[in-house]
Amino acid sequence: MQKLKYNRIVLKISGEALAGEKGFGIDQEVVDSIAEEIKEIRKYGISVAVVVGGGNIWRGRNYPQLDRATADYMGMLATVINALALQDALEKRNIETRVQTAIEMRAIAEPYIRRRAIRHLEKGRVVIFAAGTGNPFFSTDTAAALRAAEIEADVILLAKRVDGVYDSDPLKNPNAQKFESLDYIDILNMGLGVMDSTATSLCMDNKIPIIVFGLNQPGNIVKAALGENIGTFVKG
Ligand code: UDP
């Protein structure tokens, strides 16, 4: 077997990615293709944890008429819906999967227990972390950074709709330049919208590298997991 660059990864799938072209809700084709790629990655023996976003269903900050904490709890529930969709797609492909939620809801998933999550990964199960950090005012990017630090992941794969980090929004500016690699401090200094500043600082402090890449091309998750040069590499 080839020497692996990463043995344990955290894959962050944003809600936006799950919505695909529809822009809202869950596009089953996208979920299926992500599940296929995770299956492929597992064949290499790489242990896979997934953090799912919820922005395709609910984003707390978009509802200023609600109390912010309440709106954020609703967002965390949205991530659980996405997690169950991904679990279903993985189990249909005979990949053993556990969903762990940061807010207890034992009838549908395990509560997040770090040691148990690590044990699942060691047994070859894919662990999907849902409900973010369990706290309002945070994001699922921060949850990805936190879980990656806790389970000692080698890298975070940040699957986005855009294929890397640019100096300006490539959807608005045709001359936007893509970065091959970056340091965390550049992201903070330049105010680049890769992750929010809480998630960025957490990765920086814990020296966790991230690969930011697009889900637009099939096979990209596998390539990123194998350490191939795609998207933008943010050095840990
Ligand atoms: N959220 C939260 N705490 C967390 C993670 C998420 O309150 O630790 C809420 C927040 O309202 C957020 C929503 O859940 O807007 C969905 O998560 P996020 O926006 O990070 O999803 P993504 O942008 O990745 O789809």
How does pLDDT run across 192-224, given as a tens digit for each residue? 988 999 999 999 999 999 999 998 889 999 999
> What confidence category does residue 1 fall into, taking pLDDT thresholds of 50, 70 and 90?
low
Ligand 1 pocket, CB under 6 A: 14-16, 53-55, 59-61, 72, 75-76, 78-79, 132-133, 135-136, 138-143
Q: How far is CA 207 from CA 8, 81, 100, 183, in A?
A: 15, 31, 25, 10
Give the pair of three-digit tokens for residue 125.
């199960």
| Ligand 1 nearest-atom number relative to CA 134 | 8
Give me the chain's average pLDDT, please.
96
Give the pair of three-digit tokens for residue 156.
């975070």
The reported pLDDT for the residue numbered 216 is 84
Which residue segments constitute the domains of the chain, with CATH numbers given? Answer: 8-235 (3.40.1160.10)
| Ligand 1 nearest-atom number relative to CA 137 | 7
Alpha helices in 59-113 (DSSP H): 68-91
| Ligand 1 nearest-atom number relative to CA 60 | 11
Q: Calculate mean pLDDT across residues 172-188.
A: 93
Per the annotation, does 174 bind a ligand? no
Provide ipTM, 2 decimals.
0.98
The reported pLDDT for the residue numbered 236 is 80
Per the annotation, does 97 bind a ligand? no
| Least confident span in 58-67, 148-157, 169-178 | 169-178
18: phi then psi, degrees, rounded to nearest 5: -65, -25
Per the annotation, does 205 bind a ligand? no
Give the whole-number percent of the chain exceeding pLDDT 90.
90
Q: Residue 106: is it exposed, middle or buried by C-beta count within 10 angstroms (0-12/13-18/19+)?
A: exposed
Q: In the sheet that 47-52 helps form, which strands lie side by side, from edge to edge?
A: 110-111, 97-101, 126-130, 47-52, 8-13, 155-160, 210-214, 232-235, 181-183
